Every structure is written in C-alpha cells, then in structure tokens.
Amino acid sequence: MRLISKFLRFMLKAMVAEFNGIQVFIDPITIFYWLSSTGILWAFTSLVSFRTHLLPLSFLGIILIYVCFMVLKIYTYLFPGPHNEYPKHMSEFYDSIIHLHLVLFVTIIILMIFYVLTKFLEYFYAIELPFKQGVMFLFRAYTILLIVYYYLRGQWLRPLRLRMYSKKRSELICHIWIYAHPWQAFKFSALNIILIFIAVRAYVFIITYILSPLLSYLSLISGLKLNIELLPVNGIGSIGYNIFMLSAAFMLSNLFFYPFVYIVQRIVNPLHPMKIKQVKSAQI
C-alpha cells in the first residue's frame, strides 16, 4: 500500500509540480496534439455556431480545471509527503488557497469591466473593441503569470523551507536578501524564465517531429484512434464530457513535459544564489 501511495504521489508531482502546465498556455499545440482534429472542429463549431448560450458554462468549466490544477500545485509544494505528517503547513495551505481565489476574483472583475466598456463603446459610439481576443489574451496572461509567480516564489523560498522555517519568516528573510542583492536576484529569476521558454520550445519540437508522428503511426498500424475525441456540443452533458477530456489531455501533456521540468530543476537548483545545496535541514 505504501508503494502505491508513493507512486501516486510521484505521478501527481510529475503532472502538476514546479512550472509544469505552463507549456499548454504558452503554446496550445502541446495539448492539441493529444486531441482528434475532427473532434476539436466539431466541438468548437457546434459551440460557437449553434450553442453560444453554453459558452459561459464552457469557460467556467475551464476556469474550474485551472483552479483545481493550481490547488494541486500548491499542495505538492507545501506537502512533500502525506499532509498529516505536516500539520503546521495546513494553515499555509488554506492561506494560499484564499490568495489564489482572491487573484481569480480580481481577474474576473477586470474582465467584467472590460465587457461593460466594450458594450458601452459599441452602443453609444459604434466602436467595436476585440472582446473575444481580449478575453483570450487576459486568460493566457493570467494563467502563465500565475504559474510563473508560484514557481519563482517556490524557487526563492526553497533553501529556507528546507530549514523548516515558517512561510512568513522565509518570505521576510528572502525579501531582505533580494533587497541586498538585486542583481543576483534578477539574474537567477531571468535564468529560470529563459529556461522555462527553452523547455517549452524543446517540448514543441519533440511533439512535432517525434511524438505526433509516432502517435499517428501507432494509430495506423493498430487501427485504433489513440487521440482523445471531443463530442459536438448539444447540451450540458457534452460540455461536461469535453471538459473532462480536455483535463485528461492537459494532464497527459504535463506528464510528458515532466522530463523537461526535471532537467531545468537539475540545472537551476545548484545555481541558487542563496546556496541551496549548503542549506541543511534543521528543525527551527
């Protein structure tokens, strides 16, 4: 039973830990190659052409998937093992969840203001703002920046959390160190961001020239469709099914992206300017 628990925890970490998941929002091809192209076409066309009243529900479902994903990401960061072994981290976990929802709430308020502004300008001045493009840009910016924020925050606090410092104490020490060494802090943060984008481009290259052709070949010789199929949208049931399938494709994309995440971690952890390798675990 313990081996199964360790395996499941490893799989969870492989699919949600560190900056994993960001590749889907930087380059959507990293999730689309798992989906059937005809399924995507049918689902999207039926939704925007005949079932536009279900668009808000679809968007809400996607937001729900992302929020659950971020909750799991926070969980894997705060709890290296079973959560009952880290009772002191529970309050930090709840605080992080509240902060996550606060950021989401502010983002939705901004989106609502933008929607009202577009309708106001369209009605009174016949000025049409690109609302759909604006929503997509805001969504991608929100998802990417939030993942980068939690990842960099975890990177900076890692040496202090290894010493079992509390969240507030770790943040205070880290802020003081960054204020005293701004150039080193900037270089380390920039290195992390650059390596994230390099990892995503490398993953897209592997998908384009190895994984996608391999998947097509296996489908051809087996006679089976190995891509995930989406249904044409004709009601709430098909919306729920498509959202579930999208979440499955998302997790598969993350699982195959994990080796790149692991390589980046092996590169940047020894370069931590706070000397992460020299920090010994000690109960404070």
Helices (DSSP H) in 88-130: which residue ranges?
90-125
Q: Is 3 a residue whose pLDDT tops 90? A: no
Give CA–CA dist 178/159, Å, rounded.
14
pLDDT for 1 equals 62
Query: What is the chain's alpha carbon radius of gyration, rounded to the nearest angstrom?
Result: 21
Distances (CA, A) of 20 to 40, 47, 85, 130, 256: 24, 29, 25, 30, 10
Q: Is 77 a residue whose pLDDT tops 70? A: yes
pLDDT per residue over 126-185, tens digit each?
A: 777 777 777 788 888 889 999 999 999 999 998 888 887 888 888 898 999 899 889 999
Task: Name the pTM for this structure.
Answer: 0.88
- The residue with greater pLDDT, 223 or 75, is 75
**Range of weakest confidence among 36-45, 56-65, 125-134, 216-225:** 125-134
Tell which residue, 18, 34, 19, 27, has the closest CA to residue 205. Answer: 27
DSSP character for 84?
G
**Helices 37-49 & 55-78, crossing angle to 10 degrees?**
130
Average pLDDT over residues 57-64: 87
Give the pLDDT band (50/70/90) at residue 253: very high
Give the pLDDT band (50/70/90) at residue 275: low
∠ CA 130-100-12, rounded to 5°: 105
pLDDT for 280 equals 46
Average pLDDT over residues 70-96: 85
Q: Is 86 a residue whose pLDDT tops 90? A: no
**Range of weakest confidence among 17-21, 87-91, 177-181, 228-232:** 87-91
124 residue type, one letter: F
Q: Which residue has the tokens 């279900």?
A: 54
Q: Which residue has the tokens 């969240």?
A: 167
